[in-house]
Chains A and B, each alone.
Chain A
């Protein structure tokens, strides 16, 4: 199984809502990543978890809160987002971190109204 799954596929939320994005992999990978991708742009790294510990936070605003409950799951909690946060949020995993290849999920298309 080389699949990374993400739920939901689409999410529309107001600026006062609280929601969560979920990511799951069963490949035994110990590194997991959150990326943000705006239209017609490359992915931008947000967070990296290595062995369930946050290892990289790319100066992401606190309205984004990552969580890694176990080695297979990665969540991104959203609160008080802004319309400019609307984007495709991609999750990825890799065996032992970079430079090993990353396996990407299909993403969650987030719209903030």
Chain B
């Protein structure tokens, strides 16, 4: 069955430190992968997406992610976090079959220490 796993429920980093949020997916076909960010009480905003091509994708707000087919992973990275990056981050995969849908991971809450 298709699924998305974000193994870290919470992550705390200091402002200015580097960040990596993990995401693993289970899907037999070519995956369409996304990272979304959600601030408290707000909707989701797309950070970046991977459909094909270069496995290192650049997104907004200085984020990047690397697709590794051999590891079924799509980890999100940022070299230096800012206090405004504190939010919930969702990894997602689009399932393209008879009923196209998107499956979200359970999310990782990012806390930033001053």
Contact = CB atoms under 8 A, between A and B. Distances in A.
A107 B40 CA distance: 11
A106 B105 contact: no
B43 A98 contact: no
Max count, chain B CB within 10 A of own CB: residue among A40, A55, A99, A102 = A99
Interface in A34-93: 40-43, 45, 48, 55-56, 88, 90, 92
Interface in B93-114: 94, 96, 99-102, 104-107
B32 A42 contact: no
Interface in B1-60: 32, 34, 36, 41-46, 49, 51
B67 interface: no
Nearest to B31: A99
A30 interface: no
Interface string B72-102: 0000000000000000001000101001111
A109 interface: yes
Contact of A98 (B32, B42, B105, B106): B32
Q: Is the interface of B mostly helix, strand, loop or mixed?
A: strand
Nearest to A107: B43
Contacts of A40: 107
Given A101-B49, A107-B42, A109-B41, A42 B100 contact: no
Given A90-B43, A90-B44, A106-B43, A97 B104 contact: no
A9 B42 CA distance: 10
Contacts of B90: 42-43
A104 B106 CA distance: 18
B94 A99 contact: yes
A101 B34 contact: yes
A21 interface: no
A104 B88 CA distance: 15
B101 A45 contact: yes
A97 B46 contact: no
Interface of A: 4, 40-43, 45, 48, 55-56, 88, 90, 92, 97-99, 101-107, 109
